[in-house]
Amino acid sequence: MSEPIKLVAFCGSLRKASFNRLALTAFVERLPAGVTAQTIEIDWPLYNADIQAQGFPAPVQAAQKAMLEADGVVLVSPEYNYGPSGVLKNAIDWLSRMTPQPFAAKPIAIFGAAGGALGSARAQYQLRQILVFLDGRPVNKPEVMIAQAQNRFTDGKLTDETAGKLLADLGASLALAVRQARAAANVK
Boundaries of every domain in the chain: 5-187
Q: Is the pLDDT of residue 103 over 80?
A: yes
d(C-alpha 43, C-alpha 90), whole Å: 9
Q: pTM of this prediction?
A: 0.96
Q: Is the pLDDT of residue 30 over 90?
A: yes
CA distances (Å), origin 2, targets 47, 97, 179: 39, 33, 9
CB atoms near residue 41 (< 10 Å): 11
Nearest in space to 153 (alpha carbons), one of 113, 116, 104:
113
d(C-alpha 102, C-alpha 96), whole Å: 7
In this prediction, residue 188 carries a pLDDT of 62
Strand-pairing partners, residue 11, are 76
Distance of CA 38 to the CA centre of its chain: 11
d(C-alpha 182, C-alpha 159), whole Å: 34
In this prediction, residue 16 carries a pLDDT of 87
What confidence tens digit (pLDDT) does each residue in 126-151 have?
999 999 999 999 999 999 999 999 99
What lies within 8 Å, CB to CB, of 17 at 6+ separation is 156
What is the pLDDT averaged over residues 118-122? 93
What confidence tens digit (pLDDT) does each residue in 42-90 have?
999 999 999 999 999 999 999 999 999 999 999 999 999 999 999 999 9
CATH architecture group of domain 5-187: 3-Layer(aba) Sandwich (3.40)
How would you classify the pairing of strands 83-84 and 79-80?
antiparallel
What letter represents residue 6's amino acid?
Answer: K
